[in-house]
Amino acid sequence: MYDKPVLLVIAHGSRDPRHAATVHALVRRVRSLRPGLRVETGFLDFNVPSVHGVLESLAEEGVRDVVALPLLLTRAFHAKADIPAVLRDAPPQLRIRQAEVLGPSPLLLRALERRLHEAGLRPADKSSTGVVLASAGSSDPEAIAVIADIAREWRHTGWCAVRPAFASASLPRTEDAVRELRALGCERVAVAPYVLAPGFLPDRIARGATEADVLADVLGPAPEVARVLLERYDGARLPRLAAIGA
């Protein structure tokens, strides 16, 4: 029997094999940061194992407590509707807490800067560089507002300018934001994909970055991202532990 809730990381899934490979790499990093924690992965679509299948297996093993963590950067449709619906259909003996989505978090900004530096941008270039914060996009106004807020916050850390962009559902597109930063007079322009794994929309972001000087990689298994997962897990499980000790 497990003395702490199992962490179930819930990913969207994709036909692109790079997506699942990246999710699994991130989960391996989470396990390496907290070896005593059991971490499982389930997918909503396209990949196996499914979320429902993982939950059934856990129940059959006798697991009782699960923290379900949406592998999402904003609270859009999947976090508000799809995932809660799947969790409501879980075996009744499981006690499940849905953790908060990953963003926003200062750690994610550090992960974005890590990826920009890995792509060749030097710390000394920061004040003369404009950055496009390129997300997948959403039709959810709350999610769009969060991306705009992150761009404003990130601008105050020393960049020449930061502009949000979206690969779908909303505007501007990455290429338009790149041109806007050029017009502002930034000496160089970098594109930082605010996405977790490769796939169709990240590829669209990359195509829109052809006129940029620097294109960073997706966040993927960056150590800062793994730390955010653990923060969200702790935030979901600790209220119950505090109640037990009260």
* pLDDT of 245 over the 80 cut: no
- Position 203 scores a pLDDT of 98
Rounded distance, CA 130 to CA 150, Å?
15
Rounded distance, CA 25 to CA 35, Å?
15
* pLDDT of 40 over the 50 cut: yes
- Position 1 scores a pLDDT of 55
Other CB atoms within 10 A of residue 13 CB: 19
Domains of the chain in start order, with CATH, are 6-102+222-245 (3.40.50.1400), 106-215 (3.40.50.1400)
* pLDDT of 181 over the 70 cut: yes
The pTM of the full predicted model, rounded to 2 decimals, is 0.94
- Position 27 scores a pLDDT of 98
**pLDDT, tens digit, for every residue of 65-90?**
999 999 999 987 778 889 999 999 99
Q: For residue 224, what are its two tokens?
A: 């800062």
* pLDDT of 190 over the 60 cut: yes
Rounded distance, CA 63 to CA 56, Å?
10
- Per-residue pLDDT band for 3 (boundaries 50, 70, 90) equals confident
- Position 239 scores a pLDDT of 61
